[in-house]
Amino acid sequence: MAKHFAFVSLAAHGHVNPTLPLVEELVSRGHRVSYATGREQVPAVVRAGATAVEMPWRVELTAMAGRGYTMDNLVKMMTHGADEVTETFADLVAPFRTDPPDCVCFDVMGLPGRALAEKLAVPGVGLAPNMVGNEHFSLQALMWPADFNPADPRLLAIGRQLAEFAAEHGLRLESLRPTDARTRLNLVFVPRGFQIAGDTFGAEFRFLGPALPRRARTGDWQPRSDAPVLLISLGTVFNDRPDLLDVCIEAFANSPWHVVMATGRAARPSCVPDNFEVHQQVPQLAVLRSAAAFVSHTGMGSTMESLQHGVPLVSVPQTPEQALNGRRAAELGLGRAVDTETVTAAVLRRTVDEVAADPAISANLARWRGELRGVDAAGLGADALTDFLAREPHRAPTG
Looking at residue 256, what is its pLDDT?
97
Instruction: Evaluate whether residue 237 is within a structural domain.
Output: yes
Instruction: Evaluate whether residue 222 is within a structural domain.
Output: no
Residues 239 and 183 in one domain: no
Exposed e or buried b for every residue in 328-366, given b needs 16+ CB within 10 A?
bbbeebbbbbbebeebeeeebbebbbebbebeebbebbe
* CA 225/CA 178 separation, integer angstroms: 47
Q: Rounded to 5, what percent of the chain is helix, strand, coil?
A: 45, 15, 40
Q: Taking Cα atoms as reference points, which of 59, 60, 58 lies closest to residue 77?
A: 60
Residues 250 and 352 in one domain: yes
* CA 251/CA 244 separation, integer angstroms: 10
* CA 85/CA 60 separation, integer angstroms: 13
Residues 155 and 233 in one domain: no
C-alpha distances in angstroms, 235 versus 59, 87, 250, 301, 337?
A: 13, 28, 20, 9, 16
Specify the range with the lowest mean pLDDT, choosing from 51-65, 116-130, 270-284: 51-65
pLDDT in tens, 326-345: 999 999 999 999 999 899 99
How many CA atoms are closer than 13 Å to the CA of 269, on its beta-carbon side? Answer: 22
Instruction: Evaluate whether residue 396 is within a structural domain.
Output: no
Beta carbons within 10 angstroms of residue 243's beta carbon: 9
Residues 337 and 294 in one domain: yes
CATH of the domain at 15: 3.40.50.2000
Looking at residue 182, what is its pLDDT?
66
Residues in CB range of 370: below 8 A, 6 or more apart = none
Tell me which of 182 and 317 has the higher pLDDT: 317
The answer to whether 245 and 345 are in contact (CB under 8 A) is no
pLDDT over threshold 60, residue 216: no
Residues 108 and 29 in one domain: yes
Residues 271 and 357 in one domain: yes
The answer to whether 275 and 258 are in contact (CB under 8 A) is yes
pLDDT in tens, 186-202: 999 999 999 999 999 99
Instruction: Evaluate whether residue 184 is within a structural domain.
Output: yes
Indicate the pairing of strand 258-262 with strand 186-188: unpaired
250: phi then psi, degrees, rounded to nearest 5? -65, -40
Instruction: Evaluate whether residue 397 is within a structural domain.
Output: no
Residues 194 and 252 in one domain: no
* Percent of the chain topping pLDDT 90: 73
228 Rama class: left (phi>0) / alpha (psi -120 to 50) / beta: beta
Predicted confidence band of residue 383 (pLDDT cuts 50, 70, 90) = very high
- The residue range of the domain holding 289 is 229-373
C-alpha distances in angstroms, 288 versus 218, 275, 308, 311?
A: 10, 17, 9, 7
Q: What value does the mean pLDDT of the chain take?
A: 91
Look up the pTM and report it: 0.92
Residue type, 73: N
* CA 364/CA 69 separation, integer angstroms: 34
Instruction: Evaluate whether residue 170 is within a structural domain.
Output: yes
Residues 60 and 196 in one domain: yes
**What stretches of the chain adopt beta strand conformation (E)?**
4-8, 32-37, 51-54, 103-107, 124-128, 186-188, 205-207, 229-233, 258-262, 276-279, 291-296, 313-315, 335-337
C-alpha distances in angstroms, 27 versus 47, 48, 126, 210, 214?
A: 11, 8, 19, 18, 12
Residues 174 and 282 in one domain: no
* CA 215/CA 362 separation, integer angstroms: 29
Instruction: Evaluate whether residue 220 is within a structural domain.
Output: no
Residues 59 and 117 in one domain: yes
The answer to whether 9 and 16 are in contact (CB under 8 A) is yes
Residues 173 and 244 in one domain: no
Instruction: Evaluate whether residue 216 is within a structural domain.
Output: no
* Percent of the chain topping pLDDT 70: 92
DSSP codes joined into one string, 259-317: EEEE-TTSPPPS---TTEEEESS--HHHHHTTEEEEEE---HHHHHHHHHTT--EEE--
Looking at residue 231, what is its pLDDT?
98
Residues 192 and 246 in one domain: no
| Overall number of domains in the chain | 2
pLDDT over threshold 70, residue 237: no
Exposed e or buried b for every residue in 87-96, given b needs 16+ CB within 10 A?
eebeebbeeb
